[in-house]
Amino acid sequence: MEELKMSTKNFSTDLIIGDGSFGLVYKAKLFNGSTVAIKKLDPDAFQGFREFRAEMETLGKLRHQNIVKILGYCVSGLERVLILEFVERGSLDQWIHDTSSTNNEPSVAGTMGYMPPEYKEGAAATVRVDVYSFGILMFEVATAERPNLPKVMEGKEVWLIEWARKMLGQNRHMEMLDSNTPKEGLSEDEVKEYFRIASLCTEEFRGRPAMSEVVGLLKKLSS
């Protein structure tokens, strides 16, 4: 922990590069010269302990070129710190929303915006959770709206998934699309099918399709 404190200048705000819902993410250079991302969970956030365990269980087992690698962790008293691979070219959030990032500017990550209702109730990380998250990502890509920031609809604030369900219920599929998306050549039926697939992914736990089924539906849509 002492090395991590020194590498982050005692977790200086100048080194914050992201907000992971239950803790901040810092850019740091370890004593061996390697540049890493340090995620320090908020010790006062009860759910942060569960997220720490979930990330250890999932990221610790994964090795994929498009998924950040977990390099290690540190536990000291109530403090929980994850040492992650530093992604030089930024996060998925930055690519979707075309935002820039510097060492002095936080990048909003909004992890909880992708989490299903059962996760908040203490459910473990499962493939069904991943399907839900993928559905949220589908909405995010098509609408350019952030899952972790509320929107105003009918005079009150709602989250992306609530807004999307209401818009779809009112048959306002085309209005949901990112205003920067070229509309020429777009098939309204294909747009509806895209959002139908995203909606399936974000159903209640037992109603979600397997990821293989989702892939099949998307392949059929793109053929």
Residue ranges for the known binding site are 40
- pLDDT per residue, tens digit, the chain (223 aa), is 999 999 999 999 999 887 765 678 899 999 999 999 998 887 766 555 666 676 677 666 666 666 778 888 888 888 888 898 887 766 666 666 665 444 433 363 335 577 777 766 655 556 778 899 899 999 999 999 988 778 888 888 888 999 999 999 999 999 999 998 888 888 999 999 999 999 999 998 888 999 999 999 999 999 8
Q: How many CB atoms lie within 10 A of CB 185?
A: 5
- CATH class of the domain comprising 2-109: alpha beta
SS3 content of the chain, % helix, strand, coil (to 5): 45, 15, 40
Residue 109: its pLDDT value, please?
35
* Sequence-distant (≥ 6) Cβ neighbours of residue 169 within 8 angstroms: none
Residue 42: its pLDDT value, please?
77
* Sequence-distant (≥ 6) Cβ neighbours of residue 48 within 8 angstroms: 22, 23, 41, 42, 80
Domain regions of the chain by residue span: 2-109, 117-222
Nearest to 19 by CA among 113, 116, 88, 96: 113
Residue 93: its pLDDT value, please?
65
Answer CATH for 117-222 from 3.40.50.2300, 1.10.10.60, 3.30.365.10, 1.10.510.10? 1.10.510.10
CB 20 within 8 A of CB 5: no
Residue ranges for the known binding site for ATP are 40
